[in-house]
Amino acid sequence: METQEIIILVGQAIGIVSFLISCIRYFLKKKASIIKLSIFVYIFYIIHYFMIGAFAGSYALVISLVRDTYLYQREIHHKKHRHRKFYNNAFVFIMLFVVYFSFMLLNIQNPMNILPLLAGVVYMSFEWFTTNKTTLKIASAGTNIPWIVYDVLTLSFAGIIADSVSFVVAFLGILKDKKLRKKVVKHNH
């Protein structure tokens, strides 16, 4: 077995471990805990995508890592009502948007490489400006689609599994929210 093949196999194994660890977040209740686990898992996924040669996926996840680290700090400080002005500042959003957009321009020669970056900027926009959980689930489901396509094209087996599961979970969450809304409407009439 050649060195490159071994690196790819180890990368796929790291991706599978990342997926298994990320499954814990479906059992967490607090947003801060979910974000903290995501930050931890991103590190493994960055290594996974890098080792299988899917560099745009690594870039997108590095930016997501920075984004979620910021959001984790915002969540902590927002609850303490300190530094609210800084953590709600649109400047940070604009800077992250510019970084995503710059990486998209750098990868424009291969449209496949734009998919994870585009998914990242779209999800970040929803995550930043809405607190509606159903809207976030719709954004999550929608942004999983470009990731799934990217995973198939780059042969990221862990990514295919993780993003497909994430899509299904988000979709089921949307259906659950819809049923709960119908139940509330019927109860109020």
Average pLDDT, stretch 140-147? 90
pLDDT at 84: 52
HEC per residue, 141-168:
HHHHHHHHHHHHHHCCHHHHHHHHHHHH
pLDDT at 148: 95
| Per-residue pLDDT tens digits for 46-62 | 999 999 999 989 989 99
- pTM of the shown model: 0.82
* C-alpha torsion angle, residues 106, 109, 112, 114 (rounded to 10): 30
Q: Does position 4 have pLDDT exceeding 70, yes or no?
A: yes
Ordered by start, the domain boundaries in the chain are 3-188
Helix (H, G, I), strand (E, B) or coil at 126: helix
Is the CB of residue 32 less than 8 Å from the CB of residue 72? yes
Is the CB of residue 9 less than 8 Å from the CB of residue 156? no
pLDDT at 187: 56
| Per-residue pLDDT tens digits for 9-25 | 999 999 999 998 888 87
* Cα–Cα distance measured from residue 160 to residue 147, given in angstroms and rounded to the nearest whole number: 8
pLDDT at 39: 85
Residue 32: pLDDT band with limits 50, 70, 90 = confident
Residue 91: pLDDT band with limits 50, 70, 90 = confident
Half-sphere exposure of 6 (CA within 13 A, CB side): 3
Q: Does position 69 have pLDDT exceeding 60, yes or no?
A: yes
